[in-house]
């Protein structure tokens, strides 16, 4: 079980662990930024100009588990790269939004299309271009190495850094909360028999 270290800010009020679990149990759409969240914020360039990004496979498995649980998954990023498109395709993420300068409008539009309110959306971001979205959604988080301005407004600061399992950390919290409120069971890793 995760230690739900919740942050309060002028925009959000501190929530109890029980209230947070209830909120997480109502999440129907999970959206994430890419650079600094799904990746370690590094951009790698080869001599020939090729760009590389390192993604965490455990984050990818978490996204697949969310999809199995019926939660809509989305990537919302300011960057526009073939690498991110390939990653989204591999994970069968239905909502890929690249080149987005107004992330909040994008998330609002997505939620409306699925008949959801922003309170049913979880978003994880790490930098100032994520601030408005993080303030507006039902549950917000940032990796351990997210920018201080972001850490000041989110509901949860991950123990893991971007690209090192922060996304999976939030996903496990969502799945745990939803499992407690339903008969749906997610296979968990554990001791082998």
Is residue 79 situated within a structural domain? yes
Is 9 within the bounds of a domain? no
Q: What integer is the mean pLDDT of 75-104?
A: 96
In a domain, 74, yes or no: yes
Residue 63, in any domain of the structure? yes
Q: Are 174 and 122 in contact (CB under 8 A)?
A: yes
What average pLDDT does the segment 143-166 reach?
A: 97
User: What pLDDT is attached to residue 62?
Assistant: 97
pTM of the shown model: 0.85
Residue 126 lies in domain: 33-180
pLDDT (average), residues 93-105: 98
DSSP assigned state of 95? E
Asked, for residue 111, whether it belongs to a domain, the answer is yes
- Classify residue 191: in a domain, yes or no: no
Q: How many domains does the chain have?
A: 1
CB atoms near residue 186 (< 10 Å): 14
Q: What is the CATH number of the domain that holds 67?
A: 3.40.50.1000
pLDDT at 6: 52
Indicate if the alpha-carbon torsion angle 55, 140, 62, 30 is positive or negative.
negative
Whether 37 is in a domain gets the answer yes
């Amino acid at each position: 079980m995760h230690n739900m270290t919740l942050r309060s800010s002028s925009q959000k009020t501190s929530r109890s662990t029980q209230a947070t679990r209830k909120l997480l149990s109502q999440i129907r759409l999970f959206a994430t930024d890419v650079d600094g969240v799904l990746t370690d914020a590094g951009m790698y360039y080869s001599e020939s100009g090729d760009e590389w990004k390192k993604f965490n496979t455990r984050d990818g498995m978490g996204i697949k588990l969310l999809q199995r649980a019926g939660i809509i998954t989305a990537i919302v990023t300011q960057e526009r790269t073939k690498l991110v498109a390939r990653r989204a395709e591999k994970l069968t993420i239905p909502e890929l939004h690249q080149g987005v300068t107004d992330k909040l409008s994008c998330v609002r539009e997505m939620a409306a299309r699925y008949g959801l309110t922003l309170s049913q959306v979880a978003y994880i971001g790490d930098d100032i271009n994520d601030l408005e979205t993080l303030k507006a959604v039902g549950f917000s988080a940032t990796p351990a190495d997210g920018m201080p301005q972001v850490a000041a407004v989110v509901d949860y600061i991950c123990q893991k850094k971007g690209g090192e399992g922060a996304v999976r950390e939030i996903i496990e919290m969502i799945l745990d909360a939803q499992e407690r409120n339903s008969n749906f069971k997610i296979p968990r890793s554990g001791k082998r028999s």
